[in-house]
A and B are shown apart, each in its own frame.
Chain A
Amino acid sequence: MTMVPSIGRQISNSPADGISNLRFSNHSDHLLVSSWDKNVRLYDASADSFRGEFMHGGPVLDCCFHDDSSGFSACADNKVRRLVFNVGKEDILGKHDAPVRCVEYSYAAGQVITGSWDKTLKCWDPRGASGPEHTLVGTYQQTERVYSLSLVGNRLVVATAGRHVNIYDLRNMSQPEQRRESSLKYQTRCVRCYPNGTGYALSSVEGRVAMEFFDLSEATQAKKYAFKCHRKSEAGRDIVYPVNAIAFHPIYGTFATGGCDGFVNIWDGNNKKRLYQYSKYRSSVAALSFSRDGRLLAVASSYTFEEGEKQHEPDAIYVRSVNEIEVKPKPKAYPKPPA
């Protein structure tokens, strides 16, 4: 365990292969990590202790908490699993026809929502007693493979290949509330809803993030914008990096982005400012997660295979304390009012 103040404390017992996602619990500082080494691991981030791991049948592409006692995993073996932490048991909630790419738990709907490369979205009822047949609530066809999901309130945003973005109302999943195309010209990497539920941030592989809004009124739509980030200027040209992860601070509404350039930036979306940049990580930033009180930020420094199989820095998880100054919004200075 190394103490490097600028990039955070490295979690010991890190996964053996790439980290696909990590999440802080809503109830504690527990951290759930899914990895290509077919494992999901649970850590206590503050105590830096390893609390258990769950072996899967294939690389685990996503994970999420239900509550502090259980969580869910999306696996490349097409299965959706529930993980029960204390007991160390897992069971299969359901299956897709292709690797399951995303999993979210909606407290509002009490359902598990998964997106898969089989171009479907599925909703599951985790309280289902037995057998996958009974847990599936619905299957919703997408135009393309699902790349990313995000929930806020009753809204669900689904980003797929081909730059499609579908916005659902969980109460009525029969069809999308809105079908959109990504404002960005390149492949969508990640989508995250604002905590205040007014819109979502969408990142691409081309070092750009778009700030979008649900409200289709002109006034609101006028507020949308996109900005460049995670780029390196070299000899007059920009080298662009995929923006792999977006995480919103639960309190301030500012957000962090992590890219394949190894940097984590904190942004103030309202005031259109960058608040902070952390020291470069040894590898791509594959995933980000703020703790429930926003005082910790977990960073997965893990090669995301954007350049295929190659020698790379070892994958690691860092947990760093977040200073207010790094995440507090900075409103623009107003001109002095006339005396």
Chain B
Amino acid sequence: MDFCIDENILEQVTRVVSDSNNEENEWFERLLCRQKGVQRMSESQNARVLRIETMYASLLDELQMAWDEVGEMEEEREKTMLEIENECREVYKRKIDGVKEEMTRLRHAIADSEAKLMSICSAMGESPLYGRQSEQSGRSLKEEMGRILQQIEDMQKRKSERRNQFIQVLCDIQCVSDEINGRSEDISSDPEVDESDLSLRKLEELHRQLYTLQEQKRTRLRQIQDHLRNLESLCLVLGLDFRQTAFQIHPSLVESEGSKCISNEALNQLASSVQQLYETKIQRMQDLQDLLMTMLEYWNLMDTPVEEQQRFRNITSNIAATVSEITEPNSLSLELLEQVRTELCRLEEVKWSKMKELVLKKRSELQEICRKTHIVLEPDIVDENVMEAIESGEVNPENILEQIELEAAKVKEEALSRKDILEKVEKWFSTREEENWLEEYNQDENRYNTGKGTHLILKRAEKARILVNKIPGMVEALVSKTAAWESERKAEFLYDGCRLLSMLEEYTELRQEREQERRRKRDQKKLQGQLPVEQEAITGSNTSPLKPAASGKKSLKVTTNKRVASVSLPQTPRPGSPQSAKSNTPQSRLSRKIDQRF
């Protein structure tokens, strides 16, 4: 690898960078401090050396003087000096060896203590505060020993504190986990602490564990709270006692926050109970809404007055509510539902009775229409038995009503088509009456007598004769119309149960009979000479249409089918009484009918 050669350096640098100078001085200062630190220790040594040297010097002087006095030889002096030196050296050496032994002993002790410290530290998962090597930073062995012992003491204290922390957290973990698992809280002994791992890391791990468990506990308590809130609202709505309900689910639920059981069973029970009550709420709500719907129908049907409705107004406001919107107390309680049901029963009864009334009303309406239009109904719906059937509940009045309405509709429709014909029939009837009256009148021999009201009668008679002349045409028209109606409707035109055409036919026959009878009688009278009296009578009064018919001057179009109503009845002679005895012939039946009408 090549050098990184710096070309700039090769120039002579004349200016020294001031920074580097300052750094250098600071560095040198530090060096001096270090040296002084070391030096201070030397000074005491120097003092010692000085002391010894002084002692040595003075002793030596003394020796020298003694030798001088004795006159010791130089060789001897040298020898002695050497001996002294050796002995001194021995003394020092001994002392030095002793200190060195102490040094070795201390080193061993330090090593042992270090090992002990290391084991405590490894259990704590920490490293010792100071570097391993004892021989550094100029510390003496004793200092080092003291330091290590102190560290051991500190570490042991910390270890025991740490251990307590472990015990605490393990206990807490045990507690919370018991609560969660639903185990009863026994007074357990101190948990087992793993002595080999008392590190902070492990402690943190345990704390995290504890925190997780506490979180779980908190979550569960929250869940319980939520459930209890729901439970409370459900109980309120359903009209149940909250405390009692809660107690039944699990006794601990009515306790204060800290003593609630949070085991899985308790939670599940609570959850399922709440669910059940919720379903009950839904069920009742549906029931109530059904009831209310029915109630509203009844109100609608029967036009129930507002005051009556008011009592249940606040309940009906729930009719379209969703489950969550129903929160009023007791709004779904059993009592309330009972109330509603009772009211509904009452309304039903009301409805039934109204229905009955309605049926009666409708029925009589129908009857009226039928009567007016001379329709005869099937007896089943207008029968009196129907009402009994309704009373007993055999027959649903609504069905009857429906039938009646249906029938009424049909009848109304038919009535409309019959109107025309019926008018004509009325006219025909009234004309027939007049005819009958005229007939009787013609029979009356006193009819030309003057008296009160005679002129009115005469007038009437005249009108009657005109009408009677119109009869054939009328009848014809009626027959054709009826025939047309019948062919169109493909049904018989019934009048009060009888076929109108038959009636008309009968009438026509009767008329013809009468006509024949009259002719016969006329013929008879002709033979008996009663004719001039008739003529007289006729010429003396208003010309009746009958006369010409009888005399043949004015020709009435008389067909053989027609009958003349004024033909006197052959059966019984009537001396001056216009009233004819009732007998059961077709003619009398007709008269009877006319009588009935009057």
Contact = CB atoms under 8 A, between A and B. Distances in A.
A254 to B, nearest CB: 13
Contacts of B2: 272-274
Interface string A51-62: 000000111000
Contacts of A208: 6, 9
B3 A57 contact: no
Interface residues of A, dominant DSSP:
loop
A58 B39 contact: yes
Given A57-B45, A181-B13, A185-B17, A311 B4 contact: no
Contacts of A305: 30-31, 34
B133 interface: yes
A47 to B, nearest CB: 22
A227 interface: yes
Interface string A202-235: 0001101010000000000000111111000000
A21 to B, nearest CB: 15
Contact of A273 (B1, B35, B135): B1
Interface in A148-204: 161-163, 181, 183-187
Interface string B546-562: 00000000000000000
Interface stretch (B19-27, B178-186, B499-507): B19-27
A267 B3 CA distance: 9
Interface string B32-47: 0011001101100110
A296 interface: no
A36 interface: yes
A304 to B, nearest CB: 10
Contacts of B21: 162
B5 interface: yes
B451 interface: no
A324 interface: no
Contact of B38 (A36, A145, A162, A272): A36
B38 A59 contact: yes
Interface stretch (A104-112, A122-130, A135-143, A312-320): A312-320
B30 A226 contact: no
A17 interface: yes
B399 interface: no
Contacts of A210: 9
B4 A227 contact: yes
A97 B41 CA distance: 19
A83 interface: no
Contacts of B9: 183-185, 208, 210, 225-226
B38 A185 contact: no
Contacts of A224: 10
A99 B23 contact: no
Contacts, number: 110
Interface in A236-285: 267, 272-274
A314 B135 contact: yes
Contact of A314 (B3, B12, B31, B131): B131
B28 interface: yes
B42 A161 contact: no
Contact of B136 (A162, A228, A267, A312): A312
B136 A306 contact: no
Contacts of A99: 35
Contacts of B31: 305
A286 B580 CA distance: 171
A187 B45 contact: no
Contacts of B51: none
Contact of A226 (B5, B14, B132): B5
B28 A161 contact: yes
B166 to A, nearest CB: 30
B23 A226 contact: no
B39 A16 contact: no
A274 B1 contact: yes
A210 B5 CA distance: 10
Contact of A183 (B10, B20, B42, B133): B10
A224 B27 CA distance: 29
Contacts of A226: 5-6, 9-10
Contacts of A23: none
B598 interface: no
B323 to A, nearest CB: 66
B131 A185 contact: no
A77 interface: yes
Contacts of B41: 38
Contact of B23 (A16, A57, A187): A187
B38 A58 contact: yes
B138 interface: yes
Given A274-B1, A314-B132, A16 B138 contact: yes
Given A225-B5, A227-B5, A311 B130 contact: yes
Contacts of B30: 305, 308
Contact of A77 (B6, B13, B20, B39): B39
Contacts of A315: 136
B449 interface: no
B73 interface: no
A185 B137 CA distance: 32
Nearest to A308: B30
A210 B12 CA distance: 12
B16 interface: yes
Choose among A58, A210, A272 the residue with the greatest number of B CB atoms under 10 Å from its CB.
Answer: A58
A48 interface: no
Interface in A319-334: none
Nearest to A302: B136
Interface in B134-184: 135-138
Contacts of A161: 24, 28
Contacts of B132: 314
Contact of B35 (A58, A272, A308): A58
Contacts of A181: 12-14
28 contacts: A36-B138, A38-B42, A57-B46, A59-B38, A99-B35, A162-B21, A181-B12, A183-B9, A185-B17, A185-B20, A186-B20, A187-B23, A208-B6, A225-B10, A226-B5, A227-B5, A227-B6, A228-B3, A228-B6, A229-B4, A272-B3, A273-B1, A273-B3, A306-B27, A312-B131, A313-B131, A314-B131, A314-B132
Given A208-B9, A305-B30, A312-B131, 15 more contacts: A36-B138, A38-B38, A58-B39, A58-B42, A59-B38, A77-B39, A183-B12, A210-B9, A225-B3, A227-B4, A227-B5, A228-B3, A228-B6, A273-B3, A314-B132
Interface of B: 1-6, 9-10, 12-14, 16-17, 20-21, 23-24, 27-28, 30-31, 34-35, 38-39, 41-42, 45-46, 130-133, 135-138
